[in-house]
A and B are shown apart, each in its own frame.
Chain A
Amino acid sequence: MPKDPHTSKSISKDSESLLRDLISETKGLLYQHLTRMVGNHEDTADLLQETYIRAWKNLDSFKGESKMSTWVFRIATNLALTHIEKTKRKSTISIDNQIHVRASADGPDAEDILNKVDQAMDTLPPKQKQVFIMRYYDELPYEEMSHLTSTSTGALKASYHHAVKKIEDFLTSH
Chain B
Amino acid sequence: MNEREDITEIAPLLSSIEKRKVEVPEGFLESLEEKILREIQPKARVIAFKPSAFFYMAAGIALVMGLFWFLRPESNSPEQTVDLNALVSQLSIEEIDSFVMMDEYLIEEVYLEKTGTTTSPEIEYLIDDDVWSDELIIEYL
Query: B14 contacts which of A20, A53, A164 (Cβ < 8 Å)?
Result: A164
Query: B11 contacts which of A6, A19, A100, A165 (Cβ < 8 Å)?
Result: A165
Q: Which chain B positions have C-beta within 8 A of A48?
A: 32
State A28–B43 Cα separation when bound (angstroms).
Answer: 28
Q: Which of A62-70, A82-90, A110-118 interfaces with chain B?
A: A110-118
- Please judge, given known A-B contacts A11-B41, A31-B24, A41-B25, whether A164 and B17 are in contact too, CB under 8 Å: no
**B72 at interface (Cβ–Cβ under 8 A)?**
no
Q: Which of A73-81, A122-130, A135-143 interfaces with chain B?
A: A135-143
- For the complex formed, measure the closest distance between the CB of A134 and the CB atoms of chain B, giving whole angstroms: 10
**B36 at interface (Cβ–Cβ under 8 A)?**
yes
By DSSP majority rule, is chain A's interface helix, strand, loop, or mixed? helix
Q: Which chain B positions have C-beta within 8 A of A150?
A: none
The 6 tightest CB contacts between A and B, nearest first, are A104-B18, A168-B11, A100-B23, A105-B18, A35-B22, A5-B40
Q: Mark A1-37 against chain B: 1 for CB-CB distance below 8 A, else 0.
A: 0000111111100001001100110011001100110
Q: Which chain A positions have C-beta within 8 A of B22?
A: 31-32, 35-36, 93, 99-101
- For the complex formed, measure the closest distance between the CB of B100 and the CB atoms of chain A, giving whole angstroms: 62
Smallest Cβ-Cβ distance to A35: which chain B residue? B22
Q: Which chain B positions have C-beta within 8 A of A23?
A: 32-33, 36
Task: Flag if A53 contacts B40 (CB, 8 Å).
Answer: yes
**B39 at interface (Cβ–Cβ under 8 A)?**
yes
Q: List 5 A-B contacts (CB under 8 A).
A: A19-B36, A27-B29, A28-B29, A117-B17, A161-B7
Task: Flag if B43 contacts A168 (CB, 8 Å).
Answer: no
Smallest Cβ-Cβ distance to A157: which chain B residue? B6
Task: Flag if A6 contacts B42 (CB, 8 Å).
Answer: yes
Chain B interface size band reads 20 to 34
State A45–B7 Cα separation when bound (angstroms).
Answer: 32
Task: Flag if B43 contacts A49 (CB, 8 Å).
Answer: no
- For the complex formed, measure the closest distance between the CB of B4 and the CB atoms of chain A, giving whole angstroms: 9
- Listed in ascending order, the chain A residues whose CB lies under 8 Å from chain B are 5-11, 16, 19-20, 23-24, 27-28, 31-32, 35-36, 41, 45, 48-49, 52-53, 56, 93, 99-105, 110, 113-114, 117-118, 135-137, 139, 160-161, 164-165, 167-168, 171-172
Q: Mark B88-101 against chain A: 1 for CB-CB distance below 8 A, else 0.
A: 00000000000000
> Which of B23, B40, B43 lies at the interface centre, i.e. has the most chain A CB atoms within 10 A of its CB?
B40
Task: Flag if B13 contacts A110 (CB, 8 Å).
Answer: no
Task: Flag if B25 contacts A100 (CB, 8 Å).
Answer: yes
State A56–B11 Cα separation when bound (angstroms).
Answer: 41
Task: Flag if B43 contacts A103 (CB, 8 Å).
Answer: no
- For the complex formed, measure the closest distance between the CB of B20 and the CB atoms of chain A, giving whole angstroms: 5
Smallest Cβ-Cβ distance to A36: which chain B residue? B22
State A93–B11 Cα separation when bound (angstroms).
Answer: 21
Task: Flag if B40 contacts A167 (CB, 8 Å).
Answer: no
Q: Which chain A positions have C-beta within 8 A of B32?
A: 23, 27, 48-49
Task: Flag if A93 contacts B42 (CB, 8 Å).
Answer: no
